[in-house]
Amino acid sequence: MAKYLLLKHYRGAPAAVNDVPMDQWTPEEISAHIQYMNDFAARLEQTGEFVDGQALAPEGTFVRYDGEGNPPVTDGPFAETKDLIAGWMVIDVDTYERAVELAGELSAAPGAGGKPIHEWLELRPFLTEPPTITE
């Protein structure tokens, strides 16, 4: 019973094996990819392991406090930002091994030529509530 975040990167992850930008795929390949992602999420719901999945727009804004009475300062987007998150899926699984297995399956989503992308996904455990019994 542990939650993990599967992070998909626009930038910042090592290059995938089948590393072709999506706009170079055929429309059918894009449809197949999206179908795979939807099926994956639906299957995880069936197994009782799905928590959440969201995609993010690539362009964001940096915001910070600018002192009492001033509106927040905004800046960016910064073209040089190394790490750019594309989206995530949150799973609730019994073991770390199961989380790795599922991340591996998600990374097999088809891309150009209908072949698996072998995309690198980042697997991050959630911090939990502290256990009651510690001694």
Partner 1 sequence: MTAQLDEALLRSLTPSVLGILGRRGVDFAAAEDAVQDALVEAVRVWPTDMPRDPKGWLVTVAWRRFLDATRADAARRRREVLVDDEPAPGPAPTVDDTLQLYFLCAHPSLTPSSAVALTLRAVGGLTTRQIAHAYLVPEATMAQRISRAKRTVSGVRFDQPGDVATVLRVLYLVFNEGYSGEVDLAAEAIRLTRQLAATIDHPEVAGLLALMLLHHARRATRTAPDGSLVPLAEQDRRRWDTASIAEGVQILQAALARDRLGEFQAQAAIAALHADAPTAEETDWVQIVEWYDELARLTDNPVVRLNRAVAVGEADGPRAGLAALAALDDSLPRHTAVAAYLHERDGDLATAARLYVEAARKAPNLAERDHLTRQAARLNTSRRR
Residues that bind partner 1 (CB under 8 A): 1, 3, 44-52, 92-94, 125, 127-133, 135
3-class secondary structure, 85: strand
The Cα 53–Cα 11 span in angstroms is 19
> Cβ 127 to partner 1, closest distance in Å?
5
> Cβ 94 to partner 1, closest distance in Å?
5
**69 vs 131, which CB is nearer to partner 1?**
131
In terms of Cβ atoms closer than 10 Å to its own Cβ (0-12, 13-18, 19+), residue 46 is exposed
**93 vs 121, which CB is nearer to partner 1?**
93
The Cα 28–Cα 124 span in angstroms is 32
**78 vs 96, which CB is nearer to partner 1?**
96
